[in-house]
Amino acid sequence: MPWIKEFSREDYAPFAYLSSQIDLLYWRQGQSEEALTELKETGNQQEWIKTLHSMLEIQTSELAKLRKIPPLKSNHLQAISNINLDVAEYKLGRYQLFVENLSMYWEDWETGLLDRIRHELAFDHSTLSRLSNLVDYNDPDFRSPVLLYRLLDLFVLLLDQLAQPDVTHEFISTFNDFNRSNTIEEAREKIDEIIEFTDKDIEDWVDLYLDRVNANFAISVLGENSYERGRDQLIGLTKEVYICLTKIYEDLKSLVGEFSKGFINGDPDSIDLEEFTRALETVAESFGKYPDRQLDRSLFIASFLIPTEGSR
């Protein structure tokens, strides 16, 4: 993996520590965002408001800590960190907006879902574009979000072409506004470019990563051989992210192969709609597991990286 090799441990270790803190905050808060939807569905307004206030407090507190970290020596790595910090700033602004308009967002939380998705998609695509010339997509950390959005492109194109009656035009158009592919074939080609990630690829990346960071596995991995066991766990958690992404792709291909002909040929009666709905639910469940896999990995990385002097 040549990207990390360009930086010394002195430069890369502080960047890795900062990135781990930003990532952990992002995925933890994402879990709380899911809880807001569940609380709205059950009508628990008091707990919904309490959760939202807690999210704002956490984001404000953690972002204040991140801002205190001195600039990195490497301008290149600092530029990447600035973009990642902008994501944390964006989330803070969104939570502030929700808290300042509690009544409105409580009432419109479900009906306003597409507007929130549209807003976040625009920001996410802008972020990925800003990162594109700064990072190496051979790096698992940067490759996975790009792959996720390419999979989402394929999913939306499928919904569009299959004209599934329970999916509204508004939902499809929301995602199509940001779709980078024009056809299913083009979307699959883009996925195939980066979906293959061998065990050796991940093991080589982990070894290079651990050579460039300040890791203390004894903090979180109890017992003997903590380094070897910690290394194996990081390899395993990284593989789980890509196993999840591969499962999404397999489910999408199954959806294409088993159900597309009837809809595309204008013969929906030849399709078992119950089976079709179950297939869509399977795809949605696969997408839903991705944040969980990322959170597990982020928790572990943040547990063994130690703060490092490496700023200007």
Higher pLDDT, 49 or 260: 49
95 touches 59 (CB < 8 A): yes
pLDDT in tens, 62-104: 999 999 999 999 999 999 999 999 999 999 999 999 999 999 9
- Has residue 266 got a pLDDT over 70? no
pLDDT band at 166 (very low <50, low <70, confident <90, very high): low
DSSP string of 247-266, one letter each residue: HHHHHHHHHHHHHHHHHHTT
Cα–Cα distance, 81 to 19 (Å, whole number): 7
Per-residue tokens: 68: 């205190």
pLDDT tens, position by position, 118-149: 888 889 888 988 988 888 877 888 889 989 98
Q: How many CB atoms lie within 10 A of CB 71?
A: 13
Stated pTM of the model: 0.88
C-alpha–C-alpha distance, residues 223 and 214, integer Å: 20
pLDDT band at 276 (very low <50, low <70, confident <90, very high): confident
**Rg, C-alpha atoms of the chain:** 21
Give, for 210, the enclosing helix (H) or strand (E).
helix 199-212
Give 136's Cβ-side CA count (13 Å radius): 12
Distance from the first to the final alpha carbon of the chain: 26
Is residue 229 predicted with pLDDT exceeding 70? yes
Q: Comparing 67-71, 175-179, 234-238, which segment has the lowest mean pLDDT?
A: 175-179
Q: At what angle do helices 75-100 and 9-42 cross, to 10 degrees?
A: 20
* Pair 5, 67: CB distance under 8 Å: no
Chain mean position to CA 47: 26
Rounded CA-CA distance 299/295 in Å is 6
- Among 3-12, 52-61, 93-102, 173-182, where is mean pLDDT lowest? 173-182
The owner of tokens 């980078």 is 180
Helices (H), 43-166: 45-67, 75-100, 102-108, 113-131, 140-162
Range name among 60-64, 178-182, 239-243, 307-311 with the lowest pLDDT average: 307-311
Tokens 């920001």 belong to residue: 123
Whose structure tokens read 């990630």?
197
H or E segment and range at residue 301: helix 273-304
Q: Token digits for 61?
A: 């507190």
Per-residue pLDDT, 153: 86
Output 220 or 179, whichever has higher pLDDT.
Answer: 220
**pLDDT, averaged across the chain:** 87
Taking every pair of Cα atoms in the chain, the longest distance, rounded to a whole number of angstroms, is 67
The two structure tokens encoding residue 248 = 């999404």
